[in-house]
A = this chain, B = another copy of it.
Amino acid sequence: MATEIERKFLVKGDGWRAAAGPPRRLAQAYLCGGAGTTVRVRIVDDERGYLTIKGRTLELAGGVAGSARAEFEYEIPLADAEAMLQLRTGALLAKSRHVVPEAGGLAFEVDVFEADYAGLVVAEIELPAPDAPFTRPDWLGDEVTGDPRYFNAAMASGNGPPTGSNA
Contacts and interface: CB of A to CB of B under 8 A. Distances in A.
Interface in A43-93: 51, 53, 55-56, 70, 72, 74, 76, 80, 83-84, 86-89
Contact of A87 (B51, B53, B89): B53
A151 to B, nearest CB: 21
B72 A80 contact: yes
A37 B36 CA distance: 15
Contact of A37 (B72, B80, B87): B87
Decide if the interface of chain A is mainly helix, strand, loop or mixed: mixed
A40 to B, nearest CB: 11
B51 A89 contact: no
B87 A70 contact: yes
A140 interface: no
A135 to B, nearest CB: 44
Given A74-B76, A83-B70, A53 B31 contact: yes
Interface in A100-131: none
Interface of A: 31-32, 36-37, 39, 51, 53, 55-56, 70, 72, 74, 76, 80, 83-84, 86-89
5 contacts: A36-B87, A36-B89, A53-B87, A70-B86, A72-B76
